[in-house]
Amino acid sequence: MPGSSFGQAFRVTTAGESHGPGNVVIVDGCPPGLALSEEDLRPDLARRKPGQSVLTTQRMESDEPEILSGVYEGRTTGTPIAILVRNTDQRSKDYASIAEVYRPGHADYTYDAKYGFRDPRGGGRSSARETVARVAAGAIAKKLIHEAFGGRVIAYVKQVGDVVAKIDDPASVTLAQVETLPDGSPNLVRCPDPDAAARMVSLIDEVRRDLDSIGGVSEIVATNVPAGLGEPVFDKLRADLGKALFSLPAVLGVEFGSGFASARMRGSAHNDVFLAAARETSPPDVPTLRTASNRHGGMLGGISSGMPIVMRAAIKPTSSLAREQDTADVHGRAATLRTKGRHDPCLLPRFPPIGEAMVAIVLADHWLRWTGSRRVSSST
Amino acid sequence: MPGSSFGQAFRVTTAGESHGPGNVVIVDGCPPGLALSEEDLRPDLARRKPGQSVLTTQRMESDEPEILSGVYEGRTTGTPIAILVRNTDQRSKDYASIAEVYRPGHADYTYDAKYGFRDPRGGGRSSARETVARVAAGAIAKKLIHEAFGGRVIAYVKQVGDVVAKIDDPASVTLAQVETLPDGSPNLVRCPDPDAAARMVSLIDEVRRDLDSIGGVSEIVATNVPAGLGEPVFDKLRADLGKALFSLPAVLGVEFGSGFASARMRGSAHNDVFLAAARETSPPDVPTLRTASNRHGGMLGGISSGMPIVMRAAIKPTSSLAREQDTADVHGRAATLRTKGRHDPCLLPRFPPIGEAMVAIVLADHWLRWTGSRRVSSST
Amino acid sequence: MPGSSFGQAFRVTTAGESHGPGNVVIVDGCPPGLALSEEDLRPDLARRKPGQSVLTTQRMESDEPEILSGVYEGRTTGTPIAILVRNTDQRSKDYASIAEVYRPGHADYTYDAKYGFRDPRGGGRSSARETVARVAAGAIAKKLIHEAFGGRVIAYVKQVGDVVAKIDDPASVTLAQVETLPDGSPNLVRCPDPDAAARMVSLIDEVRRDLDSIGGVSEIVATNVPAGLGEPVFDKLRADLGKALFSLPAVLGVEFGSGFASARMRGSAHNDVFLAAARETSPPDVPTLRTASNRHGGMLGGISSGMPIVMRAAIKPTSSLAREQDTADVHGRAATLRTKGRHDPCLLPRFPPIGEAMVAIVLADHWLRWTGSRRVSSST
Amino acid sequence: MPGSSFGQAFRVTTAGESHGPGNVVIVDGCPPGLALSEEDLRPDLARRKPGQSVLTTQRMESDEPEILSGVYEGRTTGTPIAILVRNTDQRSKDYASIAEVYRPGHADYTYDAKYGFRDPRGGGRSSARETVARVAAGAIAKKLIHEAFGGRVIAYVKQVGDVVAKIDDPASVTLAQVETLPDGSPNLVRCPDPDAAARMVSLIDEVRRDLDSIGGVSEIVATNVPAGLGEPVFDKLRADLGKALFSLPAVLGVEFGSGFASARMRGSAHNDVFLAAARETSPPDVPTLRTASNRHGGMLGGISSGMPIVMRAAIKPTSSLAREQDTADVHGRAATLRTKGRHDPCLLPRFPPIGEAMVAIVLADHWLRWTGSRRVSSST
């Protein structure tokens, strides 16, 4: 019952701390025959990397992955793929002071309560550093679902503080829009609405100079997902996607399709109408249907409907603040704290590759649960 | 990789369809020695039961549970507890027409896409009828967490349509407030704010007469949960609670603590300050801390903090409508549909026992997962 | 981490005690479309049933199964199949005396050590009565593997005491030979060598009259299993089959192919030579090979080779004896005991349907792990 | 459903091939506070290491472990422990010829049948090289069970070919006897009966010079295991130990206690008599009992009895032979093969640390599974 594994058929197991030797992930269950090398892992690792701009932490990590197993002559063999990403820029002394003081909003206290013992360097296992392993695994999942069914997962920043992006059609947002502004410069905040992006950058920079932090919302969209993924009852696709996103640091809310807005709606306005199919079928063939709208968010009864899967994650403001905060220490005494370690003033800009990774892992997992390890291998 | 089991140490497996012979649940992992009889299961089953009032479906079910194993002389033995709840009021002919037509918002189409085949009677396995098994298991979980650590889980209706209840302190809401109005009459809508409750009843009744349905939000609170429950990374308590709630029918959003509101907040306003403990400790003892506020919702780093766990689930309006809707049939042809089966105009009034059950199951599971690792750690 | 579930893709969960209301099994993961009714379960339940002859326990059970879910209009729907077999002939008073005394060779003491508490009636959960649930699940697994790949599993009695059957080719033994003697009478001991069968019957009867019991060996053969089933490393097909057989009551040894005899052999005599295929292939096609002999028992590297899978289970003599035995009681005091409950003087005659069930479940599970839930459904 | 993880509460996940960059293991679930460094891993890794003597393969590996996570200031933190052992002496060209020819007794053909693709270098994932990861994990498990309950696991060579060691009391064999001969020289064959050891060495050397190989039996004994470990029904301790041993390369038979010999015995001669306890108890206390003999092998009903757990594994002769063998190639054509890679003429001398590792992992796992349910049960 330890909790470092995720997925059943595409099974990801991670290990590693913020300031230990490195982070490791073992991906078990990737079908054989998928072309794979370190080159496939680098782009998303670079998108997640610290030190990208003034908006993110100044920790510098090369985040260079080493594939240790499971690949032969450039193709997966079906055996587990182990990847090692070494930590290089650990300044543990930054954290010496916090070994004795519980940082508000962090897991220092709860780890002590659970284990009676903790690695205080950079938050140890509770650091968002562990997501580097998820992103490496997610890059494999993305390749797999693309080869298996043309699946694509894109995440972007929808909201920072009160700045909300205007996105007409989540399913048509492109990676280029997320990564690059119309003028060709990097989209530092990864919001595909350029006007909102500019205001978000200003807001984050203002917050940073205030020695404060700010929250936001990321929207994640999976397209080309065939109808039929997910299990009834407990392992609904929605349930596993929800777990995947809530397993990420700082996520306090998740919604699909109309989400919380559905609470105010009537069924007659909420139900998405099935459209007649292009071609009639007769049982046992099942028609391929679309709906006129997508308030259901791409899943019905917990099983994918073939429409885009649209979800949003609410991310709290970074808990580490460079300003002084009241708190308690490991003896239970009142204390004050000013975080000296490096940290992001807003977690949103670096969130998209992480959110995409978890969604891709869930889709790969449910695809393989449905079709088996052999079927996909034969299609590659 | 089928999906009919939930939990690892307190493991719940369910089976059953809306209109089959009955629903079964096997609870594996309940510790020995817990006093248990059918009498312990009846109260929550009665709260979930259809036909309670004009606000709910008119299907009549006795929902009488039979314990088939795992209990000897009134106490659990540690072996699996099987419970059978027979279906009695199945009017399958009500559903004969929908075998050929896909109901908007329902899982008919996605089940066909997944399985190529489905039991159309009352939605089969996709019917909310399956939650009867969860509620039976949840009643055991509630007893267990109460005996183990005094834990208590209460859910209530926070919002129906635009009617939002005013709840000053979620952690102080009582079961009596949820079930009974100040005048002693049944609280049909299970909202502990009596004024809001009255308006919710009016709204649901109006919607029902309009042959329509309405959504809402339920708030769920777990109190007396000790700090230390949950696993780092993938099996965060928040992640498993999120999965548990998203596995329930019609849930499109879940949030903890400040939830989506955190997206608009700054860290300096969001962080909950740790208060000095009543008594100083020295390592390896860990102080028992509280926070001055509870925007974090009772979990930090995915591990319980000892503060009340507060969460909300957004529930879409019932998809079944007694009015005519456009849709497509199993041949992919355009069709119209008017649901003749019995259904609830709003899912909220019957949701609280179901939401409580899932939360209690997660807490029981993580408690049992933890006491294992803790015991040994304390001996080393 | 309770232990009442088995398998991953074809997942069997059981509950029930010897003298409780009944035994339940939930089979989760059976693909949709398989024809199934109670009629499919009865033959193997009848083969396992007590009271078949003077060689078996005189407990009388109808062992009538009721399918509670997962089947619609005679076909599986892909949702979990729950089956209930009620207990009818519980004479709990037979066991009243043993609540206070630990039976040698039984689990009374170890259950007390584990749980501090136990259901003493007929051994409770430790009784071989629980295998009734396995046999029901196994009957489904047998149908599935037969439809999926023509798979067949046959078990028979190879040895009782010193009487060893002569079986030239395990893969050619038929169910008819196991169940019926050449003269058309029932093969009470289920040994396909009629001469040995007669001597086994005499031996068991002699032992029974001596108020004693006797052990034996059952051989189990799976044929038509395609090459490729099983996972490398921990979930080798051999490992899961070994676990399946060792999970059965009274099994103290398991071997595959040459088994313990291989310890005395040289590699040059042990290796099975691959024979040239009937037809040459070019990669990526893989030839279909056979071996000239089958000392490897149908698996290489833990993965099926396409040759018959041959295994043997050693079963200890029944621990219940109608004669007086020395032992200790629940206070730790010396005591004597004479079992008054009904029991089998030899477990072998009723073992074949139980061993077959477990082997079929493992094969169904590994088949679905390999091919997915969808693939098989499309072939039925 | 991939198969590279083992255990539930003490969960071991491995990755790595014979001739890839290295082997990795992640141990998830080790409780916090256990003193641990690379130094704890080296002794068993050295016992497993190739190139120890003329009796073993001449491949030279330093087998130096690097702990990458889960340890802080010399103690485990409760988070996953990742260990990397790099491969250093891969001579892949030795295996170039066998990419095209299926080695008899090896997994080359079955991997191709399963995956359609394989890493042929040294057998890839099917090589016994993967056991290096198990031994590293096993060293942690050994420390844990020793700290938790004084548990100890010792394996030794019981038989090679026709040479059978005389061991009066398996539970009293010491590591020193297994590793060192009475004259102080290394016990190359790890048989604690010095006379038998000498004859085994001669036999293996003779076989090696014959360009042949030989099988054998290892006996494994776990002592100081408290009564109560194991789960009823599917996850019997016996079943999980059986799976653990059958998951090891070349194991064709496993038996516990009297094992296959029990098939010839009567119950009156087989049952182990419970002895009166040293001290009387009253319920709910359970007496601590011993049995006068140990034919049951330390488990009753699949749950540990407190007596030594005694098991034996039959290991087939090495399939790789330096002499010419007939076989088929990847096109299905007849071929001949002479293994040029380095290999052991007998697998037994290096087996003990591997067998011990798997047994210790199972005991650690069941201990952690149990202490969870026991703690709560004692509090109710």
What pLDDT is attached to residue C90? Answer: 66
Mean pLDDT of A186-202: 98
- Residue B34: closest CA among chain D residues belongs to which residue? D380
Q: For every one of its 380 residues, what pLDDT tens digit does chain D have, with 9 covering 90 and above? A: 789 999 999 999 999 999 999 999 999 999 999 999 999 999 999 999 987 887 777 777 889 999 999 999 999 999 999 999 999 876 656 666 778 999 999 999 999 999 988 888 888 999 999 999 999 999 999 999 999 999 999 999 999 999 999 999 999 999 999 999 999 999 999 999 999 999 999 999 999 999 999 999 999 999 999 999 999 999 999 999 999 999 999 999 999 999 999 999 999 999 999 999 999 999 889 999 999 999 999 999 999 999 999 999 999 999 999 999 999 999 999 999 987 767 889 999 999 999 999 999 999 999 999 986 444 333 33
Whether B127 has a binding-site annotation, put simply, is yes
Q: Count CB atoms within 10 A of the CB of residue D119.
A: 28
What pLDDT is attached to residue C341? Answer: 66
Query: Distance between CA B255 and CA B296 in Å, rounded?
Result: 11
Residues near C140 by beta carbon (within 8 Å), at least 6 away in sequence: C27, C30, C34, C36, C40, C41, C81, C364
What pLDDT is attached to residue D121? Answer: 85
Query: Distance between CA B274 and CA A328 in Å, rounded?
Result: 5
Query: Comparing C292 with C99, which gets the higher pLDDT?
Result: C292
Q: Do B78 and D34 touch (CB under 8 A)?
A: no
What pLDDT is attached to residue B376? Answer: 35
Whether D320 has a binding-site annotation, put simply, is yes
Q: Count CB atoms within 10 A of the CB of residue A338.
A: 12
In this predicted structure, the answer to whether residue C378 has a pLDDT above a threshold of 60 is no
What pLDDT is attached to residue C89? Answer: 72
Q: Do A247 and B236 touch (CB under 8 A)?
A: yes
Residues near B329 by beta carbon (within 8 Å), at least 6 away in sequence: B100, B101, B102, B335
Which has the closest alpha carbon to C3: B77, D237, B244, A233? D237
Lowest mean pLDDT among A48-57, B4-13, C98-107: A48-57
Tell me the DSSP string of D182-242: TTSSB-TT--SSHHHHHHHHHHHHHHHHTT--B-EEEEEEEESPPTT-S-SGGG-HHHHHH
Q: Do B117 and C79 touch (CB under 8 A)?
A: no
CB burial of A146-178 (b: ≥16 within 10 Å; e: otherwise) equals ebbbebbbbbbbbbbbebbbebeebbebebebb
- What pLDDT band is residue B94 in, cutting at 50, 70 and 90? low
Q: In percent, how much of chain B has pLDDT > 90? A: 83
Half-sphere CA count of A295, side-chain side, radius 13 A = 25
In this predicted structure, the answer to whether residue B378 has a pLDDT above a threshold of 90 is no
A326 φ, ψ (degrees, to nearest 5):
-80, 145
Of A273, A287, A296, nearest to B326 by CB-CB distance is: A273
Q: In percent, how much of chain A has pLDDT > 90? A: 84
Of C26, C117, C121, nearest to B32 by CB-CB distance is: C117
What pLDDT is attached to residue C373? Answer: 60
B322-327 contacts: CB < 8 A, separation 24 or more?
A: B322/B211, B323/A268, B323/B211, B323/B212, B325/A268, B325/A271, B325/A273, B325/B103, B325/B104, B326/A273, B326/A274, B326/B104, B327/A273, B327/A274, B327/B101, B327/B102, B327/B103, B327/B104
Q: Which helix (H) or strand (E) element contains residue C355?
A: helix C351-379
Whether B301 has a binding-site annotation, put simply, is yes
What pLDDT is attached to residue A376? Answer: 38
Which has the closest alpha carbon to C190: C360, C357, C358, C354? C354
Q: Do A79 and C375 touch (CB under 8 A)?
A: no
Annotated binding residues of A for FMN, written as ranges, equal 125-127, 301, 316-320, 342
Q: What is the ipTM of this complex?
A: 0.96
- What pLDDT band is residue A91 in, cutting at 50, 70 and 90? low
Q: Do C228 and A8 touch (CB under 8 A)?
A: no
Q: Do C232 and A371 touch (CB under 8 A)?
A: no
Lowest mean pLDDT among A295-309, A362-376, B349-363: A362-376
Residues near B225 by beta carbon (within 8 Å), at least 6 away in sequence: B149, B151, B298, B304, B306, B308, B309, B363
Handedness of CA C184, C185, C186, C190 (dihedral sign): negative
Q: Name the range with the highest mean pLDDT among A95-104, B57-66, C111-120, D204-213.
A: D204-213
Mean pLDDT of B67-91: 92
Half-sphere CA count of B377, side-chain side, radius 13 A = 24
Query: Distance between CA D197 and CA D166 in Å, rounded?
Result: 10
3-state secondary structure at position B95 = helix
In this predicted structure, the answer to whether residue B57 has a pLDDT above a threshold of 60 is yes
C40-44 contacts: CB < 8 A, separation 24 or more?
A: C40/C139, C40/C140, C40/C143, C41/C65, C41/C67, C41/C83, C41/C136, C41/C139, C41/C140, C43/C139, C44/C135, C44/C136, C44/C138, C44/C139, C44/C142, C44/C353, C44/C356, C44/C357
Query: Distance between CA D14 and CA A24 in Å, rounded?
Result: 12
Lowest mean pLDDT among B45-59, B152-166, C254-268, D290-304: B45-59
The alpha carbon of residue D76 is apart from the nearest alpha carbon of chain B, in Å, by 10
Q: Which residue type occupies B103?
A: R
Q: Do A109 and B300 touch (CB under 8 A)?
A: yes
pLDDT in tens, A319-335: 999 999 999 999 999 99
CB burial of D131-153 (b: ≥16 within 10 Å; e: otherwise) equals bbbbbbbbbbbbbbbebbbebbb
Q: Which helix (H) or strand (E) element contains residue B136?
A: helix B131-149
- What pLDDT band is residue C375 in, cutting at 50, 70 and 90? very low
Identify whether B284 is preceded by a cis peptide bond (ω within 30 of 0): yes
The whole-chain average pLDDT of chain A stands at 93
Lowest mean pLDDT among A216-230, B171-185, D94-108, D245-259: D94-108
Length of chain A: 380
Cβ atoms of residues A156 and A190 within 8 Å: yes
pLDDT in tens, C56-80: 777 778 899 999 999 999 999 999 9
Of C8, C79, C373, nearest to A370 by CB-CB distance is: C373
- If you ran DSSP here, which 8-state letter would residue B178 be given? H
What pLDDT is attached to residue A373? Answer: 60
Cβ atoms of residues B14 and B81 within 8 Å: no
What pLDDT is attached to residue D90? Answer: 66
Scanning B210-316, the segments in alpha helix (DSSP H) are 237-246, 267-270
Whether D319 has a binding-site annotation, put simply, is yes
Scanning C92-174, the segments in alpha helix (DSSP H) are 108-115, 131-149
Of C9, C69, C84, nearest to B17 by CB-CB distance is: C69
What pLDDT is attached to residue D117? Answer: 80
Cβ atoms of residues A281 and B331 within 8 Å: yes
B47-54 contacts: CB < 8 A, separation 24 or more?
A: B47/B135, B47/B179, B47/B350, B47/B352, B47/B353, B48/B131, B48/B132, B48/B135, B48/B350, B48/B353, B48/B354, B49/B350, B50/B342, B50/B344, B50/B350, B52/B186, B52/B188, B52/B349, B52/B350, B53/B186, B53/B188, B53/B349, B54/B205, B54/B208
In this predicted structure, the answer to whether residue C235 has a pLDDT above a threshold of 60 is yes
Query: Distance between CA B78 and CA D30 in Å, rounded?
Result: 25
Lowest mean pLDDT among B49-53, C134-138, C228-232: B49-53
- What pLDDT band is residue B179 in, cutting at 50, 70 and 90? very high
What pLDDT is attached to residue A59? Answer: 74
- Residue C380: closest CA among chain A residues belongs to which residue? A284
CB contacts of D90 in chain A (<8 Å) are none
Whether B208 has a binding-site annotation, put simply, is no
Query: Distance between CA D224 and CA D367 in Å, rounded?
Result: 12
Of D1, D31, D376, nearest to B380 by CB-CB distance is: D31
Best A5, A26, A365, A369 member to test C by mutation, with max C CBs in 10 Å, is A369
Domain C5-379, CATH: 3.60.150.10
Lowest mean pLDDT among A83-97, A136-150, C102-116: A83-97
Best A106, A262, A280, A325 member to test B by mutation, with max B CBs in 10 Å, is A262
Query: Distance between CA B189 and CA B200 in Å, rounded?
Result: 7
3-class SS shares of chain B: helix, strand, coil, % to 5: 35, 20, 45
- Residue A316: closest CA among chain B residues belongs to which residue? B262
What pLDDT is attached to residue A277? Answer: 94
Cβ atoms of residues B41 and C33 within 8 Å: no
What pLDDT is attached to residue B261? Answer: 98
Lowest mean pLDDT among A73-77, A120-124, A245-249, B322-326: A120-124
Chains B–C, number of C-beta pairs less than 8 Å apart: 174
Mean pLDDT of C345-366: 97
The two three-digit tokens of residue B66, written as one number: 């039979």
Among left, alpha and beta (phi > 0; psi -120 to 50; other), residue C77 is: alpha
Scanning C93-130, the segments in alpha helix (DSSP H) are 108-115
Cβ atoms of residues C248 and C130 within 8 Å: no
What pLDDT is attached to residue B62? Answer: 87
